Amino acid sequence: MVQTEITLPKGVRDVLPERTAKRNALIRNIVSVFEGCDYREVTTPFLEYLDVITQGAGKDLKKRVVKFTDRATGRSLSLRPDFTPQIARIVATHYREKKKPVRLSYHGSVIRLAEDASGGQKELYQAGVELIGAPSPDADAEVISLAIELLKASGLNDFKIAIGQVDFVRGILDEADLSQSDRAKVLDAISKRDSTLLNEMSTTLTHGDLLIPFQTLLYLFGGEDVLYRRDEKKLITNQRSRDALDNIRTVYESLKHKNLSNYVSVDLCEIRGFDYHTGIIFEGFVNGVGSAICGGGRYDNLLASFGYPSPATGFAIDLDILMLAIERQG
């Protein structure tokens, strides 16, 4: 029996030669797909100052950072929780004068505190890209097609990329003009697709009638037809949501034009992502694997928090979930 003193902390693990070889082969393949699309690989540190790495990040990421104190300065340090703010920092410091857009890729580990009550942390191995300085829907379509190409190149054939637009829900929420606590409740209900909670709220809210669009919202997932509903004029009465719908349509049509629409599903109700997301968001799913295999989206305000406003989009893939999906597919 192994002595308990030499066990590992929760959420991390050794990777033995056989699996390491498999993983490396997968990474080489991914890097070559990235290179083929002009994304250049960068290496970022595993340690950052907490206040720097969480700049522009919402409270959801801040809560999940593993932190401790720098002995030299007394400042709080953080293990890398996410690559995107690091790439944003790199572009904001080293790429100011360079031609845009900038295409960068990375791969490596991130460490986050577990979301559930287990009290541990979790190490994830990610590979991803960031496309910075490109505001157009074409840029969103570019990174989504890259995600599709990546999953195909990794040997998966039965997957879906579910795309959404965070402004769609935010527009309806703004219009409803809810108190902060009601807004949080509605967001919670939307993220769980909990129509019961919305129903309960409709009796207590001052603008109870505004919950009708939320009820419909819960059903706005599926294929192309979700983007072209006959009742949309009645359903969407604010500009922000309308613009969001136009935006996601443009991205969808662009993907369709590339013959990729059979890999794409639409979910207008999705609000999951990081707080820094500002537009198109997407996640990749494989049948029988319960969690997302990759995820990403547009984050037009993050670079501004590093002193260099610039539109940006990107995504990351979770290597272990990708390997699981490949094994399951057989």
Partner 1 sequence: MMTRASKDTLTIALPKGRVMKQALKIFAKIGIEPLENMEESRKLIFDDKKNGLRFLVVKPTDVPTYVEYGAADIGVAGKDVLMEQERDVYEPLDLKIGRCRMMVAEPAALSAKDDPSQWTSIRIATKYPNITEKFFASKGVQVEMIKLYGSIELAPLIGLAERIVDLVETGETLKQNGLVEVEEIMKITSRLIVNRASLKIKGARIAEIIEGLRKEVEGS
Is 285 near partner 1 (CB under 8 A)? Answer: yes
Q: How far is CA 110 from CA 86, 199, 228, 274, 277, in A?
A: 12, 39, 39, 15, 19
Interface positions, 83-102, toward partner 1 (CB under 8 A): none
- Toward partner 1, which CB reaches closer, 175 or 275? 275
Minimum distance from residue 212 beta carbon to partner 1 (Å): 15
List the one residue from 77, 92, 110, 162 that touches partner 1 (CB under 8 A). Answer: 162
Q: Residue count of the chain, please give it.
A: 330
Pick one of 117, 203, 209, 231: the residue that binds partner 1 (CB under 8 A).
117
Contact pick of 9, 74, 119, 290 for partner 1 (by CB under 8 A): 290
Q: Is 271 in the site for partner 1 (CB under 8 A)?
A: no
Binding mask 221-240 for partner 1 (x = CB under 8 A): xxx-----------------
Asked if 219 interacts with partner 1 (CB under 8 A), we say yes
Among 51, 60, 115, 246, binds partner 1 (CB under 8 A): 115
- Minimum Å gap between C-beta 239 and partner 1 is 28
> What is the spatial distance between Cα 159 and Cα 264, in angstroms, rounded to a whole number?
9
If one asks whether residue 262 binds partner 1 (CB under 8 A), the answer comes out as no
Should residue 196 be labelled a site residue for partner 1 when binding is judged by CB under 8 A?
yes
**In this complex, which beta carbon is closest to partner 1, that of residue 67 or of residue 152?**
152
Footprint of partner 1 on this chain (CB under 8 A)?
Answer: 115-117, 158, 160, 162, 192-196, 218-219, 221-223, 265, 267, 283, 285-292, 328
